Amino acid sequence: MEFITGTSHNLPDEVLVGLAQYRHEVFVETLGWDLATQAGLELDQFDRPDTIYVAAREEGRYVGIARLLPTVRPYLLGEVFPQLMGGAPPPQSEEIWELSRFAAIDFRSNVLSGPFSSPTVVGLMKAVEACALRHGVSRLITTLSSPGIERLLRKLGYLAYRAGPPHIIDGHPLFACWIELDKSPSKDRK
Amino acid sequence: MRIFAFNAPPPPDGLLRLSTPALQTLQLTHLTSGIYEEPVLPAWQACGRPTTIAGYTEWIDAAGSPATLGWDWEIRCMSGLVRWHRLSLPFTNVMLVSEDRQDFPWQHNLQRLADWVDTLAWADAIDRALLLRDSRRTEC
């Protein structure tokens, strides 16, 4: 498995298109999210020249993705879900990035295993963490729509805690979560 | 009397710091609960075997503070007995502080919160919420 990191400036067009197609397959077709799409591609206003993508690829096919945005410019939580901060203002700092569109699904895998045991998730989070730390980022803020991701972060040894109470949207709890990158209790990720 | 102010500016790290006495005054109220779906394998489809049901639950402060606590739970059914168990330490934004206002170590904080959760009658609230949800699905 290989991990690719870059922006729309330095990633090949075929990679960017492949990632948009993978996001469509994950978030629209599989998870049923109501997102604006075009020609089988999932992109939104936060896919900009400064957006950083971290992708996992296995034998040429995408099996994981994460999107990173600086919080000193518009980002998903700050623009769309500020109420998830529990009354606090959405963060704006060079040391804080937003993690979004995180997924690790291998559509060709026949292995019946839960996400907690996925080496893709572990590798993807390590790649996200390494990229963020290289840029001087010490914390991530993310919006979680599934309790599973929060459990996974804890299982992997990350110090993650909520930014505010969850809000029920379309019948499911949605909440913001902090991920400390340089204070996590375990440096040896599982 | 609450020993914190809702209108105080939030600390940079986003944690809601509470003393243990202040924690006791939270009006923890059930927000939502859900059941974790488990994969069904043929070998598991056997009548009469011990059954467990697991899920998550989310609680907030009815008094309006930004406190949030959620945890995983499990119902174990065996030999006709049904027991509810808290499965995980809480997921939260609450940091308990000592009498001299020092943060507890994070894991210690979570354990203290879990100990407090265990004093609450949370199972009944989850049971009612899940029954209500199921009855609405039946009506649709």
Question: Is A111 within 8 Å of chain B by CB?
Answer: no
Give the residue with greater pLDDT, A105 vs B9: A105
Q: Which of A101, A110, A132, A117 is nearest to A19 (CA)?
A: A101
Residues 66-125 of B with CB under 8 A from A: 66-68, 70, 72, 88, 91-93, 106-107
Q: What is the pLDDT of residue B8?
A: 56
Its pTM stands at 0.88
pLDDT > 70? residue A65: yes
Test A162 with B72 for CB contact under 8 angstroms. Answer: no
pLDDT > 80? residue B54: yes
Nearest-CA distance A92 → chain B (Å): 11
Eight-state DSSP code of residue A60 = T
Q: Which of A53, A58, A60 is nearest to A23 (CA)?
A: A53
- Which range of residues forms the domain containing residue A64? 2-180
B17-32: pLDDT as tens digits = 999 999 999 999 999 9
**How far apart are the C-alpha atoms of B35 and A32, rounded to whole Å?**
19
CB atoms within 10 A of CB B47: 4
Residues from chain B contacting residue A172 (CB–CB below 8 Å): 34
Residue B4 confidence class, pLDDT cut points 50, 70, 90: very low
Q: What is the pLDDT of residue A157?
A: 92
Q: Tell me which chain A residue has its CA closest to the CA of residue B59.
A: A165
Q: What is the pLDDT of residue B138?
A: 56
Total CB pairs under 8 A between chain A and B: 63
Q: Tell me which chain B residue has its CA closest to the CA of residue A146.
A: B56
Q: Tell me which chain B residue has its CA closest to the CA of residue A149.
A: B91
pLDDT > 50? residue A114: no
| Total structural domains within chain A | 1
**How far apart are the C-alpha atoms of B89 and B111, rounded to whole Å?**
6
The CATH number of residue A172's host domain is: 3.40.630.30
B106-128: pLDDT as tens digits = 999 999 999 999 999 999 999 99
Out of 2.60.130.10, 3.40.50.300, 3.30.565.10, 3.10.450.610, the CATH code matching B16-34+44-126 is: 3.10.450.610
| Strands B16-19, B94-97: pairing kind | parallel
Buried b (16+ CB within 10 A) or exposed e, B69-89: bbbbbebeeeeeeeeeebebb
Mean pLDDT, residues A90-116 taken together: 81
